[in-house]
Structure 1
């Protein structure tokens, strides 16, 4: 008889809970689902469920995050991207709309397929996080639409329009499955590219952001991190810009990307004071969006910035900021510029990513 280690047993228990929870949510929906029935389905105790998940909301988000991560793994980028912005938006919409439930689906299973958050996010921090995540998703879509140039505000606004159309269709399909025609919606998304949108000026606060501080600090880059866009390992020791953003500050990513030089390797490190719920929400939304992008855009034209989830606090600790679990972690904004294995510029607070991205460090004199 093979004896499982404690970690293996915990992983097996967690997997059984997720299967049982998915069945429970599919049958009863989020509102009527019960932890006791999930425990019975998994042939576990109620305590075993709570030892792995903080509550029903955390469990629901975990079920959704698990499903989108499985879909991400199976998403193979095409050889070529669509040859125009309109065709790219249409193709993206067709992939995204595959989640719409069919008329015969039960409400619970339809909500799962939609990744529905109706009735789930009932706190102000959660709603704020969702708004910030929406803007971050729009930025990633815009970066895929403009892979070789500096992203324009008008393209981000176009991406926001497209995502608003798709999320609105999902909201309608949740209560009236089969009402909207996915093919019509995809054509509508394609035609959004013809709307003339003006490039707005820089955010009003940027002129008041303090410049990054020049430093020469040693940089022990943490290992074992993964880019959520490509799935590859991330080397934070390479030259580039690292921006740590709380989930409540993800909209600041646009400022950093817009200011960065095209050759810069930009990495966004996502942190939160609540990995069990806010962290899973962030993972769900970002991985879900990237999974759709991976089916539309060629590998070389996926968004260039890397996205890392720092659930264990490895990056923040390496930067000298030990994770505290304080709610202010969700509005964290810390950025550094790395060159030749050293941190050569630092900034903290609102606009930190922009300050570091625009910082120009003097070149080291070449050896004679």
Structure 2
């Protein structure tokens, strides 16, 4: 008889809990699912479930994450123009709509619905912020189809609004509407004049980044949530450490940075068991769609890592990060050459290149 190691036994227990939870959520839905029944389905104790997942919400999020297929589709050219890109993204996104015969609970699980899951104020705040980050990532991919420096965030926000609305309607009134019509409508959104320009946040409260010459020891590589590839942190560029409640600041770093800067956003939270899983779920879902539509050279250049345990933040000297954190540094020649902290930090550190010698300035 083969004796399992402690780690192997824990992994087996976790897999059994997830399989049982998926059955429970698919049969009864999130609201009516019970931890006791999940434990019974898995032939485990209630304590064994809670030793792996601290709450029903954390378990539900883990089930949804497990439902996302991470395997990339075969490499294909990116859509030839902006309209086709939006339409192609919509078609991929709409594949989650319920199928004929799905039960209400099964339909919600297929939709990866969060209805009734995050109805508290912290959760709603993070959902708003992570949605803005999703829109930025989609926009950066769409911007590969148009002339350089052309912003498409409003288009991305509008497409996500239409798609999310279609998902909610499919959940509430199954069978209503035609997903092909929704995809065509998304395609036509590209022809709207949305006056989408970026107004740099030159606001009085943004303090310029503080010059520094701090040595630091980069941590081990972390996976990039956009590409799935490991990310190192010793290259020149900007690292923005953003709490889950400040994710919208990622665009301030993107727009203020030098075109050749490598921009990394590290997401931190003081609630990794729930808020951290929520961010992972939403970003994995969005980037999974992007990878099926756009060729690798059109994927967003922004690198996004989930800094669980605040390993990267600590290495940068950022202590006790939480959901409200906004801090950023500029890395140059292996050292931290500038620091910024507080609201506007991502913009301040990214814009600091303008004062550096021997750096070509962005054309106006």
User: Are the counterparts in 1 of residues 330 and 337 from structure 2 also a CA contact under 8 Å?
Assistant: yes
Counterpart secondary structure, 1:147:
helix
Distance in 1, matches of 2:93 and 2:283, equals 13
Displacement of 1:10 after TM fit?
Answer: 1.2
Structure 2 partner of 1:10: 10
User: Are the counterparts in 2 of residues 219 and 237 from structure 1 also a CA contact under 8 Å?
Assistant: no
User: Are the counterparts in 1 of residues 153 and 196 from structure 2 also a CA contact under 8 Å?
Assistant: no
User: Are the counterparts in 1 of residues 218 and 315 from structure 2 also a CA contact under 8 Å?
Assistant: yes
Distance in 2, matches of 1:151 and 1:102, equals 40
Distance in 1, matches of 2:291 and 2:128, equals 23
Counterpart secondary structure, 1:215:
strand
Kindly report the root-mean-square deviation, in angstroms, between the aligned alpha carbons of the 2 structures.
1.6
Structure 1 partner of 2:36: 36
Distance in 2, matches of 1:124 and 1:152, equals 34
Displacement of 1:362 after TM fit?
Answer: 3.5
Structure 1 partner of 2:118: 121
Structure 2 partner of 1:301: 298
Counterpart secondary structure, 1:346:
strand
User: Are the counterparts in 1 of residues 318 and 327 from structure 2 also a CA contact under 8 Å?
Assistant: no
Displacement of 1:258 after TM fit?
Answer: 0.7
The structure-2 alpha-carbon separation of the partners of 1:205 and 1:31, relative to structure 1 and needing over 3 Å to count, comes to farther
Distance in 2, matches of 1:144 and 1:75, equals 16
Does residue 278 in structure 1 map to residue 275 in structure 2?
yes
Does residue 176 in structure 1 map to residue 173 in structure 2?
yes
Displacement of 1:363 after TM fit?
Answer: 4.3
Task: Could you tell me which runs of 5 or more consecutive residues in structure 1 were left unpaired when the two chains were aligned.
Answer: none
Structure 2 partner of 1:291: 288
Paired residue for 1:245, among 232, 242, 255? Answer: 242
Distance in 1, matches of 2:86 and 2:201, equals 30
Displacement of 1:311 after TM fit?
Answer: 0.9
Distance in 2, matches of 1:139 and 1:201, equals 12
Structure 1 partner of 2:25: 25
Per the normalisation by structure 2, the TM-score is 0.94
Structure 1 partner of 2:55: 55
Aligned positions of 1:1-368 closer than 5 A: 1-68=1-68, 71-72=69-70, 74-76=71-73, 78-147=75-144, 152-153=150-151, 155-200=152-197, 202=199, 206-323=203-320, 329-360=322-353, 362-363=356-357
User: Are the counterparts in 2 of residues 152 and 258 from structure 1 also a CA contact under 8 Å?
Assistant: no
Counterpart secondary structure, 2:27:
helix
Runs of at least 4 residues of structure 1 off by over 6 A?
A: none
User: Are the counterparts in 2 of residues 21 and 63 from structure 1 also a CA contact under 8 Å?
Assistant: yes
Displacement of 1:26 after TM fit?
Answer: 0.2
User: Are the counterparts in 2 of residues 142 and 151 from structure 1 also a CA contact under 8 Å?
Assistant: no
Distance in 1, matches of 2:202 and 2:67, equals 39
